[in-house]
Structure 1
């Protein structure tokens, strides 16, 4: 089964009029982020660890300037759940981060498909909730070019690319305040390195926004540039939580 991450927020996405259901900006230059203020991001991940710590590391000083020894530590909750709530300046614009396990043997996530969360367009005081899974270096080796292009035979044919997921820069996704507090925007992210040429990835589920399991109502996704990460988004009423879905 494909490894996946879920991203949940109480904000809507906005952008240009692309055919993808995930709103996008036509150009990153068109994004007008708030230069002042902060957003609160709650990171959560499940990882079995009895002795040690997990940190959220990244190039920004808020994330330890890529030094795991200076990166903020997560708090262990019930079972194998780890959480970290952090205020991040909007001027960061694009949050790049990864998880590092600090124990007797330090373990880092795969950097082949780096995590990137755009803050462009988010209002001051916004709250984002991120639910991740640890990206195993072994599993993510399937995203290298030798696998995706050679072994899996994807190639570069324009005819097959026309029916594949749209490729976007993660920085092209903008945020916008929701129209109602009764709605939650859910962003789905799945790692799918073995998608065959000419095929695409989508998500379907029980809520009406995800098609209600009806045949032919698959919600298309986009592929993040330079990765095998596929992203989709739907606005779901709070009353529908929790809900079932699949890729």
Structure 2
């Protein structure tokens, strides 16, 4: 049976790796690195850098594969995602099969495998089913709050983590004053009434390229949109996240 370790690697900073993550990678026979096209070549390069720093055993093989592109033509969102996950699982199986001697396989996961990441769902599609272990990693949520030196929630208060699409379509989640937004294609906060709302935004959090903006939403929103557009044009890709909080009163 193949042992598949899903290793959370943080948000791009090699220093985010835990000791458990380093030990797991060092013990692997095969490490998988996805390539997401030229515009996101930096993401594969960061994984290569981590492997170069951690892997000391010459027997450990690093194998790269091209990540399938999600079909934008299918109208049903869930169907698009399911088909995409099936295609990724097939590529994983093909890549592993090309290394028949590998029994301990590791896959580097951005952030943590449990939060807005489908690696675990894809792993469940593999045949034959591997023995899956998860090594937790620092999430972009933690990196964001650390970058701004703020607490994630108010005392005794809940918070919601959601996506830009849900925020744009459904508005502010009920019952909470703190909302963390991930996977925003850009500017979902513009759909909100900015009155009494503060925002803490970050792009490339935890990386040398990190950019942060904070303040009342009405004032910060145009600054964020401008910074986001400039950074995306410069790097060819962007990963950003933000926390919204309603002020009391």
Structure with greater proportional helix content = 2
Indicate the TM-score class for this superposition, using the shorter chain for normalisation.
under 0.3
- Name which one, 1 or 2, has greater alpha-carbon Rg: 2
TM-score (norm 2): 0.26
